[in-house]
A and B are shown apart, each in its own frame.
Chain A
């Protein structure tokens, strides 16, 4: 893939997730793509990818994502984004807390033939759970 094609692919990924369109989001992945996610664990295939994305934007129904950086090295891509949202729908079986969260996220991807084939998400997941009130944390 050319750099322009990769930039376009990640523009589509951003638009889909900002639209909370989980089907369009899943469409930027290969059919058998593998995603490693703190929230959804390791999951495979577009249906599972759409389900995990749906759980996220269902919980944080006003979630928005902005791009900080896109680092492209052949088929290796690192997408740096910032997520802002409010726990309006409840996450991991908890009642919605109405609390906001904002944090940087890094998406480490492999791309081929116009699609994402592997994606690994790295961010302060525990901190996000504390921000939205799923976890309570205190000094030991």
Chain B
């Protein structure tokens, strides 16, 4: 893919995420794609990706992603972004509490034949769980 095609793909994906369009998001993954997410764990392929996005949208109905930078090195891409949302649907078996989170994140991608074959998401996941009230943290 060219740089312009990759840039357009990620702009489209950000819009799809913010529109809660799990079908469009999942369609970008290869059948053997591996997605490593702190929130929903390691999962594989478009069907699992769609289910994972739907789980995220159920937990955070206002979940938003805002890309700050796209670092493109051939088919190797880093997306620097801010993610935020409100615990409106409950997470990890706990009821919703209306608490909001915002964290910086980096998502790493490998592309092949216009599809995502690997995605790894890195952010302060534990801090996010504290912000939305799933975990309580205090000095030891």
Contacts and interface: CB of A to CB of B under 8 A. Distances in A.
Contacts of B73: 71-73
Given A78-B78, A126-B130, A136 B137 contact: yes
Interface residues of A, number: 32
Interface stretch (B10-18, B24-32, B44-52, B120-128): B120-128
Interface residues of B, number: 30
A125 B77 contact: no
Interface string A60-87: 0000000001011100111010000000
A136 B138 contact: yes
Interface string B84-110: 000000000010000000001110100
A74 to B, nearest CB: 9
A14 interface: no
Nearest to A134: B140
A97 B140 CA distance: 10
Contact of B138 (A73, A122, A135): A135
B76 interface: yes
Interface of A: 38, 69, 71-73, 76-78, 80, 94, 97, 104-106, 108, 120, 122-127, 129-130, 133-140
6 contacts: A76-B69, A80-B108, A124-B38, A125-B124, A130-B137, A137-B136
